[in-house]
Amino acid sequence: MFRSVGVQVVVYHNEQAQLHRLAEGIAATIAQAKEAGVERVSVRFGDCAEPATIATMEDLLRPELDGVADNIEFVDFGANLGSAGGSNSLAAGRDDEVIWVLNPDTYPSPTCSVELLAALAQSGVGAVDGRQIPIEHPKDHHPSTGDTSWASGACLMFRREAFDQVGGFDDHFFPMYCDDVDISWRLKLAGWRVVHAPRAVVFHDKRITVGAGIEVSDFERMSGTLARLLLTRRYGRPDLEDETLDWISTDGAEEHRAAAEKFHVRVADGDVPTELPGAIDVAQFIEGEYALHRFRHTT
């Protein structure tokens, strides 16, 4: 069992009640981790908003974690670092053996930490994600080992050794999305396993649309499209980059066109991830997704 865990949450204009609920959930699950043998747990909230509001929430959140967490920090980044940059910043300069990244709109079940730690303790595993409810992620995993194409950043636990070895998240994936796919594939390139732990239950506040699909905001659609283009660039798939840009020019909505525009600007500025040698061995681009999917939700 690992001795120390650093829980970290990057927030950006999140509601106080949402973070309070998350703090309750974190406190309950790290209590279980400590019962299972973890000696030290730190919890860090980092705020990307300008101006940051996390300090005003400290009085509400700290009492939930006091007595369970050994160290609680509230960090004002002073700038919008994005999900990847914020997570790197919270992880930097620490010595926790395990880094646990949680989205601010999640709520881990009590045994989530213990299940994730058990999966992470398996031989060669560098990262593990939890099973999201009520909308389970459709990406496939090996039925008995849990090995999967990538691990979702909504609830993602790393060995620090693995995280540091690949240099953490790539903050080119700004503001959000696909930074988790990218780091998963880079971990695999470095020889680590990436697994899914279905017994590690994490509630993720995703909503269902009228058409029984998943609610996605215009901003999320824009970010997801931009992230896809960046991912194709990194993993040597110019064919998919062209295909995506072609589709945007013919059928894309306004938010897709905005993503293409940003992508072109970033290419012109050289602000895109560099292509990785051997990427083709780990990257999975399957029917528009980054893993084989067991089923499809409508978006």
Partner 1 sequence: MSRYAFDFSWDSTYGIAAKLLDETSRPGMVLDLGCGEATFAQPLTELGREYLGVEIDEGSVARCSDGGLDVHLVDLANRDIDVVHDRLIELIAGRPVAAIALLDVIEHLVDPATVFAGLARLVERLGGPTLVVSIPNFTHIDIATKLLLGRWDMTTTGLLDDTHVTFFGAARVEAFTAAASFVEIERRDKKMVATEQHFPLDHPAVSRSTTFRQFTEAVRGSGDEHGDTYQFVRAYRLDPTTITEPVDSTGASGARLPFCSVLVRTQGGRASIDDALTCLAAQTDCDIEVIVAVHSDDADVIDAVRARIARYARAFQQRVVVLPVAGGGRSAPLNAGLAAATGRYLAFLDDDDVVTVNWIEEFRAAADQQPGTILRAQCVAQEHAHTPEGLIEFAPIEGFSAPYNPDFDLVQHRQFNQSPICSWAVPMGAVRALRLRFNDDLAVLEDWEFLVRAAGFLGVSNRPAFTSVYRRFTDGWGSTKTVDEDVWLSTAQAIRNRLDMAPTLLPAGSIEPIARLREDAAALSAAYDVAIARVEAFERSRYWKLTAPLRWVTSRRGASISMIKLRVAGLRGVLNARHRAN
Q: Which parts of this chain interact with partner 1 (CB under 8 A)?
A: 17-18, 21, 24-25, 27-28, 31-32, 64, 107, 109-111, 131, 133-136, 138, 141, 143-144, 146, 197-199, 201-203, 205-213, 294-298
Q: Which is closer to partner 1, CB of 151 or CB of 279?
A: 151
DSSP string, 216-237: --HHHHHHHHHHHHHHHHHTT-
Residue pair 81/175 in contact (Cβ under 8 Å)? The answer is no
Phi, psi (deg, nearest 5) at residue 37 = 125, -5
In the complex, the smallest distance separating the C-beta of residue 59 from partner 1, rounded to whole angstroms, is 16
Where on the phi/psi map is residue 270: left (φ > 0), alpha (ψ -120 to 50), or beta? left
Q: Is-contact 40 98, C-beta < 8 A?
A: no
In angstroms, rounded to a whole number, what is the distance separating the alpha carbons of residues 285 and 174?
20
How far is it, in rounded angstroms, from Cα 128 to Cα 112? 11
Q: Please, which residue, 172 or 196, has the CB nearer to partner 1? A: 196
Reading the block at residue 279, the tokens are 């990427």
Q: Nearest distance from residue 202's CB to partner 1, in Å?
A: 8
Closer to partner 1 by Cβ: residue 32 or 88: 32
Nearest Cα to 107, choosing from 209, 181, 17?
17
CA gap 217, 33 in Å, rounded: 35
Nearest distance, CB of residue 178 and partner 1, angstroms = 21
Q: Compute the least distance from the CB of residue 149 to partner 1, in Å.
A: 16
Q: Which is nearer to partner 1, 197 or 258 (CB)?
A: 197
Kindly state the smallest distance separating residue 76's Cβ from partner 1, in Å.
Answer: 26
Between residues 131 and 266, which has the closer beta carbon with respect to partner 1? Answer: 131
